Amino acid sequence: MVTGGGSGIGRATCRRMAEEGATVAVLDRDADRAHDVAGELGGPALVADVGDPEGLRAAVDEAAEALGGITILFNNAGTGNESALHEWDPAEWDRLVRINLTGVYLGFRAAVPHIKAAGGGSIVSTASISGTRPAAGEAPYAAAKAGVAAVTATAALEYGPDIRVNAVSPGMILTALTEPLLRFLPQERERYERTTPLGRIGEPEDVADVVVFLCSDLARFITGQNIVVDG
* Residues acting as catalytic residues: 141
Helix (H) or strand (E) holding 186: helix 186-195
Question: How far apart are alpha carbons 93 and 88 in whole angstroms?
Answer: 6
4 near 33, Cβ under 8 Å?
no
Question: How far apart are alpha carbons 163 and 226 in whole angstroms?
Answer: 16
Identity of residue 136 = A
Taking alpha carbons only, the member of 2, 63, 9 closest to residue 27 is 2
122 near 215, Cβ under 8 Å?
yes
Contacts of 92 (CB under 8 A, 6+ apart): 81, 83, 140
Question: How far apart are alpha carbons 31 and 154 in whole angstroms?
Answer: 33
